[in-house]
Copies of this chain bind each other. A is one copy, B any other.
Amino acid sequence: MPDTTENPFFVIVRAGDRLEDLSTPRPVIDEDRLASNIRRVQSYMDQHGLSFRPHIKTHKIPAVAAQQRDAGAKGINCQKITEAEVFAAAGFDDILITFNILGHEKLERLSALNDQITSLKVVADNSVTVDGLSAWFADRKPLNVLVECDTGAGRCGVQTPAAAVELAVAISKAPGLTFGGLLTYPKPHAAEQVQSFLTEALEGLEERSIACPIVSNGGTPSLFDAHLVTAATEHRAGTYVYNDRSMVRAGHCTDEDCAMYILATVVSRPTADRAVVDAGSKALTSDLLGFSDYGQVIDYPGASITGLSEEHGVIDLSNCSERRPQIGEKIRIVPNHTCVVSNLFDTMVFHRGGIVTRVEAVAARGLVW
Q: Which residue of B lies closest to A274 (CB)?
A: B154
Which segment, of A35-43, A205-213, A283-291, A350-358, faces chain B? Answer: A283-291
The residues in A between 49 and 108 inclusive whose CB is less than 8 angstroms from any CB of B are 57, 79-80, 82, 85-86, 89, 99-100, 102-106
Cβ-closest chain B residue relative to A27 = B368
The stretch among A243-251, A252-260, A339-347 that forms the contact with chain B is A339-347
Chain copies in the assembly? 2
- Tell me the bound Cα distance from A159 to B10 in angstroms: 35
A23–B271 alpha-carbon span in the complex (Å): 48
Interface residue A228 (Cβ < 8 Å from any Cβ of B): no
CB of B314 within 8 A of CB of A265, answer no
- Is the CB–CB distance between B366 and A339 below 8 Å? no
**Given A9-B86, A281-B285, A311-B79, A105–B155 Cβ distance below 8 Å?**
no
Contact between A154 and B314, CB atoms less than 8 A apart: yes
Give the residues in chain B near A126, CB-CB below 8 Å. 268-269, 327
Which residue in chain B gives the minimum CB-CB distance to A79? B311
Q: Say which residue of B9, B132, B156, B312 sits within 8 Å of A328 (CB atoms).
A: B132
A156 — nearest CB in chain B belongs to which residue? B268
* Complexed CA–CA distance, A22 and B150 (Å): 29
Residue in B11, B25, B288, B314 whose CB lies within 8 Å of A155: B314
Q: Choose one: B129, B157, B364; the contact of A270 (CB below 8 Å).
A: B157
Contact string, A261-280, partner B, CB cutoff 8 A, digits 1/0? 00001011111001010100
Contacts of A267 in B (CB 8 A): 99-100, 102, 129, 156
Asked whether B281 lies within 8 Å of A287 as measured between CB atoms, the reply is: yes
| Among candidates B158, B265, B366, residue contacting A346 with C-beta atoms closer than 8 Å | B366
Most buried by B among A23, A104, A109, A364: A23
Please give the distance in Å from A128's CB to the nearest CB on chain B: 4
Chain B nearest CB from A91 CB (Å) reads: 15
A282 interface hit (Cβ, 8 Å): yes
List the B side residues contacting A364 at CB < 8 Å: 9
* With A156-B270, A286-B287: A9-B367 Cβ-Cβ less than 8 Å: yes
A265 to B129, CA, bound (A): 12
Please, which residues of chain B bring their CB within 8 A of the CB of A125? 268, 270
Tell me the nearest residue of chain B to A311, going by C-beta: B79
Q: Which of B82, B285, B312, B366 contacts A156 (CB 8 A)?
A: B312
Docked CA distance A104–B21 (Å):
8
Q: List 6 contacting pairs A-B, 8 Å CB cutoff, sorted by A.
A: A23-B106, A80-B311, A129-B268, A286-B286, A345-B366, A347-B368
